[in-house]
Amino acid sequence: MEEIIHIGILRKNAAGKLEVEITDQVECSTCHVKGSCSAGSAREKTFPVEYRYDDIEPGDLVSVHLSVKTAFKALFWAYIFPLILLLATIIVSSIVFSELLTGLIAISSLVIYYTIIYLAKNYFNKEFSLNIKRLNHD
């Protein structure tokens, strides 16, 4: 199974939760999923991680692993499904309603969708959690 791997440093934020800080990498320029990977779009990016590792402490160098399948599943729920929902809402509602009402219904459908996604964030955090591995210090 293919994986997307980034190197980062485990950090603790102000709330006491752990995050992995990933800095810009040379490998991003040759990666085949760089267009849909948010880690490659910024010089420095932080990602929350669940702390269930006894041998990893804040400040350790870690590798972050995410399967390509999981990355595409996240891409689907964040971008592709909302686009399908928007287009379907516009097509169906334009048959019955005026353009103004169709636009308002379409925008409302996206607001409702992203509200549901926000309310289900605990599920999505578990579904799309990052796996981290400590890199050996020499």
**Residue 114 pLDDT:** 96
More confident residue, 123 or 83: 83
**HSE of 58, CA atoms in CB hemisphere, 13 A:** 9
**Residue 122 pLDDT:** 87
Mean pLDDT for the stretch of residues 80-108: 96
Residue 88 CA from chain centroid, whole number: 24
- pLDDT tens, residue by residue, 59-70: 888 888 888 898
Q: Which of 95-99, 107-111, 128-132 has the lowest mean pLDDT?
A: 128-132
Q: How confident is the model at residue 79 (pLDDT cuts 50, 70, 90)?
A: very high
**HSE of 50, CA atoms in CB hemisphere, 13 A:** 10
With 90 as the cut, is the pLDDT of residue 97 above it? yes
C-beta separation of 113 from 87 below 8 A: no
- Inter-helix orientation angle 99-119/81-96, to 10°: 150
Q: Looking at the whole model, is its pTM more than 0.75?
A: no
CA distance 107 to 115: 12
C-beta separation of 59 from 9 below 8 A: yes
Find the length of the chain.
138
Question: In which residue are the tokens 């991003």 written?
Answer: 28
**Residue 103 pLDDT:** 95
Mean pLDDT for the stretch of residues 31-43: 60
